């Protein structure tokens, strides 16, 4: 038992020492009160355009990531989704961190590519976190998905050199380290206590007596015994001295014994007191002494009830004593154990007494094995309590540690995200308002190219050319206006290009609304307004809330495919109101106005003597842009080209002398034909097959983009 206790104490001491050291080092060196584990500052250099982590390196989410960088040049630190970072750096030389081994070992890989300057990263809005202006650090709560940390020069130039350190902040980490430290101290103290505790063990005179302890079987046996008158003194103590050591007094005696003295024979018989147990000539444990003092062993019942008339079970015991008198008495004897010994007593008085006692007594001694002894049970209970305490502590530490461990990323599908956030979309519209008014005021086509894309940019540039031709003094420039109260529809995209739809008011045209599409061709390009129409407020517009890109299943539910609708609309406009395709559409006011205008122009031009005939042909241009609304209908933006052709009478010639066409061809004589080229932007709604509605044309907005002849 002592060997097991020392072994257990040694193991606990070692475990406690290890936990104490680990907890102290983790709490006060690795972590600290800010709950952050940080790597040492490491120098990263790249001849390319950026230093970027691999998408598999940030494979957990939940904690807060801290990144700090410093260098000779102004640096940019940003975290972006993999689909954005991958597209932004596509084809460019950069360095990638592909492995991390704590505490501060990184594995890198250089990727070859172009070294041309990129769009300054601070001008892009797809970063989920980025360093503030003048700062080179950031903090970001790590999210589930594929994200990358990018460090590059703030101006987008190559040759990046930076000292970078990473830190991970986990909630309650410092407290867990202190808990480990406290648990280690507790286990260490418990182990030392088990090793050096000196248990109180009773010394036994006989080895066999200490291994098995007889337990008394309590029984009260009243027996009627005839005895002669006793010659002992009434004040004689109830217990005698030990027959083995007369000088010792029984420890169970209630009074001190007196020396024996001769007494005259009493005239009347007196009851004989029970013979006390002899004093044990051995050392006994505390438990054994407690058992020996029990009334079952010392026969207290017999001394207190000498004249009981009750009879007990027969006891088979015969003893013959010769005395001179006969005394009848009742004796109650309680036996807990069987003792056999021979005793010789010599007396100076002559007493003749005959006593016959017959008893039958069956006593089965009960022994207790060592494993059930109180001392063993106390030690075993201490071991069990120690084990329970350690198990509870281990369970607590395991639970808190498992709850502290960040979960691994679980998104297995390709990453996708909304094209833009609401705040970023509003910022894009606000920037457009500012730069567009500046470009309109100066008719600056290059400035317009930074905020617009085709076909809107083509219409704007043609308008600027016409304005410079017809208003060279700049007295009739467009008045400033802005798009107000924009409503944003941002579908999910998994790759570039990305688009979002805006429905807004127009400050200088209260009777109209603007319906437009902004597009970003790649991660490094700005948002450009590519499609823009102005339907009147009387036209019902679909909601842009919940708008998404179409799936094949969505397109199958439509009455017609967008490309087919574009061709049908071109045929309808080319053939006029009597065209078979006219039944497929519900025209808008702008469409009806366009048809009337072209009919009037044809009539007027054919009346001219030098014009033989006039044709007006429309054709679909490019791929329609399709978005599925929350109702299941399709909002489609498409582009149509129109050529208005006038054939010249043979022998005649014609040329443009006035009007918008002179911006593209002026005072040039043509003998065969004259033509005007228009670009139309159209927005329409294709309903689902579940309805019988026709395709609704929301708006059509033309712009002359060229003129000439042959």
Q: Which of 26, 146, 106 is nearest to 404 (CA)?
A: 26
Place of tokens 């179409």: 550
Q: Does residue 154 surpass a pLDDT of 70?
A: yes
Question: Are 510 and 452 within 8 A, CB to CB?
Answer: no
Q: Give the model's pLDDT for residue 228.
A: 47
CA distance 677 to 641: 7
Residue with more model confidence, 167 or 703? 703
Which residues lie closer than 8 Å to 47 by C-beta, 6 or more apart? 93, 110, 115, 158, 159
- Answer yes or no: do 223 and 339 share one domain: yes
Does 261 share its domain with 304?
yes
Q: Is the peptide bond before 215 cis (omega within 30 degrees of 0)?
A: no
Of 631, 621, 577, 626, give the one whose Cα is nearest residue 599: 577
Whether cis (ω within 30° of 0) applies to the bond prior to 507 is no
Q: For residue 516, what pLDDT band results from cuts at 50, 70 and 90?
A: very high
C-alpha 373/C-alpha 212 separation (Å) is: 9
Whether 384 is covered by a domain: the verdict is no
Ramachandran angles phi, psi of 96, nearest 5°? -120, 135
The predicted-structure confidence for 603-649, as pLDDT tens digits, reads as follows 999 999 999 999 999 999 999 999 999 999 999 999 999 999 999 99
CA atoms within 13 A on the CB side of 649: 10
In a domain, 409, yes or no: no
The confidence band for 517, taking pLDDT boundaries of 50, 70 and 90, is: very high
What is the spatial distance between Cα 293 and Cα 286, in angstroms, rounded to a whole number?
11
Same domain, residue pair 643 and 523:
no
Q: What is the pLDDT of residue 307?
A: 44
Q: How far apart are CA 198 and CA 215, in angstroms?
A: 28
- What digits encode the pLDDT tens for the residues 573-596? 999 888 999 999 999 999 999 999
- How many CB atoms are closer than 10 A to CB 341? 7
Instruction: Please give the backbone phi and psi of residue 591, each rounded to the nearest 5 degrees, phi first.
Output: -70, -45
Query: Are 108 and 237 members of one domain?
Result: no
Give the pLDDT score at 390: 58
Average pLDDT score over residue span 161-184: 78
Cα 522 from chain centroid (whole Å): 32
Please give the backbone phi and psi of residue 111, each rounded to the nearest 5 degrees, phi first: -110, 130
**Same domain (yes/no): 595, 702:** yes
Which domain covers residue 237, as residue numbers? 213-368
Count of domains for the chain? 4
Does the residue 594 lie in any domain?
yes
Same domain, 556 and 704: yes
Whether residue 311 has pLDDT greater than 60: no
Tell me the sheet residues that pair with 239: none
Q: Which of 293-307, 362-376, 416-430, 624-638 has the lowest mean pLDDT?
A: 293-307
Please give the pLDDT value at position 30.
67
- The CB density around residue 548, as the number of other CB atoms within 10 Å, is 16
- State the Cα–Cα distance between residues 634 and 548, nearest whole angstrom: 10
**What number is the average pLDDT over the span 669-687?**
95
What is the 3-class SS of 50-92, one letter each residue? CEEECCCCCCECCCEEEEEEECCCCEEEEEEEHHHHHHHCCCE
What pLDDT sits at residue 326?
A: 40
Query: Beta strand pairing status for 611-628 and 695-709?
Result: unpaired
When mean pLDDT is compared over 197-206, 251-260, 545-554, the highest value belongs to 545-554
Report the C-alpha dihedral over residues 601, 604, 608, 613, rounded to 10 degrees.
50
Tell me the pairing of strands 94-101 and 51-53: parallel
Q: Please, is 462 exposed, middle or buried when counting C-beta atoms within 10 Å of its C-beta (0-12, 13-18, 19+)?
A: buried
Which tokens hold the place of 278? 């002899």
Do 11 and 191 contact (CB within 8 A), yes or no? yes
- pLDDT band of 321, cuts 50, 70, 90: very low
278 and 222, same structural domain? Answer: yes
Q: Is 478 helix (H, G, I), strand (E, B) or coil?
A: coil
Question: Is residue 10 in a domain?
Answer: no
User: Given pLDDT bands bounded at 50, 70 and 90, which one contains residue 40?
Assistant: confident
Where does the pLDDT of residue 442 fall: very low under 50, low under 70, confident under 90, or very high at 90 and above? very high
pLDDT of residue 293: 58
Kindly state whether residue 220 falls inside one of the protein's structural domains.
yes
Residue 308: per-residue pLDDT: 41
Element (H, E) at 488: strand 483-489
Q: Can you give the length of the chain in residues?
A: 710
For residue 37, the surrounding DSSP H or E stretch is strand 36-38
User: Does 199 reside within a domain?
Assistant: no
Using pLDDT thresholds of 50, 70 and 90, give the confidence band for residue 198. Answer: low
Given a cut of 80, is residue 659 above it in pLDDT?
yes
Same domain, 690 and 558: yes
Average pLDDT over residues 493-500: 95
Q: Is residue 101 part of a domain?
A: yes
Q: How far apart are the first and last CA of the chain?
A: 116
Of 533, 562, 593, the domain-final residue: 533
Residue burial 376-385, b: 16+ Cβ < 10 Å; e: rest = eeebeeeeee
Query: Same domain, yes or no, for 577 and 526?
Result: no
Tens-digit pLDDT profile for residues 339-387: 444 444 444 444 444 444 454 455 455 555 555 555 555 555 655 665 5
Q: Name the DSSP class of 266.
A: P
609, 466: one domain: no
Tell me how far apart the alpha carbons of residues 15 and 7 are, in angstroms, rounded to a whole number.
Answer: 12
Whole-angstrom distance, CA of residue 326 vs CA of residue 355 = 8
CB 547 within 8 A of CB 629: yes
Residue 137, domain CATH:
2.60.120.380
Residue 509, token pair as written in the block: 């045209």
Query: Between 267 and 633, where is the model more confident?
Result: 633
pLDDT at residue 168, rounded to an integer:
79
Q: Given pLDDT bands bounded at 50, 70 and 90, which one contains residue 101? A: confident
For the chain, what is the mean pLDDT? 78
| Cα diameter, the chain | 186
CATH of the domain at 430: 3.10.450
**561 pLDDT above the threshold of 90:** yes
Residue 193 domain-assigned (yes or no): no
137, 169, 201 - which closes a domain: 169
CA–chain centroid gap for 376, Å, is: 49
Residues 6+ apart with CB under 8 A from 74: 153, 154, 155
pLDDT exceeds 90 at position 555 = yes
Q: Which helix (H) or strand (E) holds 496?
A: none
Same domain (yes/no): 589, 699: yes
Please tell me whether residues 228 and 363 are part of one structural domain: yes
Q: Which of 304, 338, 368 is the last residue of a domain?
A: 368
**Which helix (H) or strand (E) covers residue 604, if one does?**
helix 589-606
Residue 161 and residue 28 in contact, taking contact as beta carbons nearer than 8 Å: no
The pLDDT of residue 8 is 74
Out of 28-32, 43-47, 575-579, 638-642, pick the least confident.
28-32
pLDDT number for residue 637: 98
The residue ranking higher by pLDDT, 462 or 240, is 462
Look at residue 235 in the predicted model and tell me its pLDDT.
Answer: 52
Is-contact 515 629, C-beta < 8 A? Answer: no
């Amino acid at each position: 038992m002592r060997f097991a206790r020392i072994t257990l104490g040694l193991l606990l001491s070692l475990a406690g020492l290890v936990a104490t050291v680990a907890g102290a080092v983790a709490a006060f060196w690795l972590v600290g009160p800010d709950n952050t584990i940080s790597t040492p500052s490491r120098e990263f250099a790249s001849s390319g355009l950026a230093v970027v982590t691999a998408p598999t390196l940030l494979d957990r989410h939940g904690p807060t990531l801290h990144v700090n960088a410093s260098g000779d040049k102004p640096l940019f630190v940003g975290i972006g989704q993999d689909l954005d970072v991958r597209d932004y750096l596509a084809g460019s030389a950069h360095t990638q961190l592909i492995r991390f081994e704590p505490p501060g070992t990184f594995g890198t890989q250089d990727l070859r590519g172009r070294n041309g300057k990129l769009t300054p990263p601070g001008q892009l809005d797809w970063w989920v976190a980025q360093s503030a202006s003048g700062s080179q650090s950031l903090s970001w709560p790590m999210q589930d998905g594929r994200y990358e940390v990018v460090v590059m020069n703030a101006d987008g130039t190559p040759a990046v050199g930076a000292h970078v350190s990473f830190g991970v902040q986990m909630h309650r980490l410092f407290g867990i380290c202190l808990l480990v430290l406290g648990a280690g101290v507790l286990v260490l103290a418990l182990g030392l206590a088990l090793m050096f505790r000196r248990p109180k063990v009773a010394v036994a005179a006989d080895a066999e007596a200490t291994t098995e302890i007889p337990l008394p079987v309590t029984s009260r046996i009243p027996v009627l015994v005839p005895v002669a008158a006793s010659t002992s003194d009434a004040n004689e103590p109830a217990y005698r001295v030990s027959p083995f050591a007369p000088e010792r007094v029984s420890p169970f005696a209630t009074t001190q014994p007196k020396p024996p003295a001769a007494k005259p024979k009493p005239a009347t018989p007196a009851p004989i007191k029970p013979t006390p147990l002899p004093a044990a000539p051995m050392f006994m444990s505390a438990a054994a002494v407690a058992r020996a003092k029990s009334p079952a062993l010392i026969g207290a019942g017999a001394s207190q009830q000498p004249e009981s008339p009750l009879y007990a079970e027969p006891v088979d015991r015969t003893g013959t004593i010769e005395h001179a008198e006969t005394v009848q008495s009742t004796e109650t004897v309680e036996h807990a154990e069987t003792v056999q010994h021979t005793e010789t007593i010599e007396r100076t008085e002559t007493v003749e007494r005959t006593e016959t006692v017959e008893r039958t007594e069956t006593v089965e001694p009960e022994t207790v094995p060592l494993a059930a002894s109180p001392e063993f049970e106390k030690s075993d209970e201490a071991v069990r309590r120690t084990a329970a305490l350690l198990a509870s502590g281990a369970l607590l530490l395991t639970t808190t540690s498992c709850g502290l461990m960040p979960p691994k990323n679980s998104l297995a599908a390709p990453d996708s995200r909304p094209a833009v956030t609401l705040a970023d979309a509003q910022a894009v519209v606000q920037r457009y308002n500012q730069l567009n008014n500046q470009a309109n005021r100066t008719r600056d086509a290059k400035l317009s190219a930074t905020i617009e894309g085709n076909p809107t940019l083509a219409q704007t540039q043609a308008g600027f050319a016409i304005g410079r031709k017809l208003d060279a003094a700049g007295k009739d420039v467009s008045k400033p206006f802005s798009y107000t109260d924009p409503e944003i529809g941002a579908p999910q995209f998994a790759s570039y290009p990305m688009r979002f739809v805006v429905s807004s008011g127009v400050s200088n045209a209260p009777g109209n609304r603007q319906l437009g599409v902004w597009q970003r061709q790649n991660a490094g390009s700005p948002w450009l307004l590519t499609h823009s129409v102005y339907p009147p407020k009387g036209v019902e517009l679909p909601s842009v809330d919940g708008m998404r890109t179409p799936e094949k299943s969505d397109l199958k539910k439509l009455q017609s495919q967008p490309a087919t609708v574009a061709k049908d609309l071109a045929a309808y406009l080319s053939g006029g109101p009597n065209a078979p395709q006219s039944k497929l559409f519900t025209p808008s006011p702008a469409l009806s106005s366009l048809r009337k205008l072209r009919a009037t122009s044809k009539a007027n031009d054919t009346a001219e003597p030098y014009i033989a005939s006039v044709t007006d042909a429309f054709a679909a241009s490019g791929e329609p842009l399709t978005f599925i609304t929350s109702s299941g209908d399709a909002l489609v933006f498409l582009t149509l080209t129109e050529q208005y052709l006038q054939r010249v009478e043979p022998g005649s010639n014609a040329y443009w002398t006035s009007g918008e066409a002179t911006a593209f061809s002026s005072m040039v004589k043509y003998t065969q034909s004259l033509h005007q080229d228009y670009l139309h932007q159209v927005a329409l709604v294709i309903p689902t097959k579940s309805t019988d509605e026709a395709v609704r044309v929301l708006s059509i907005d033309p712009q002359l983009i060229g003129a000439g002849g042959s």
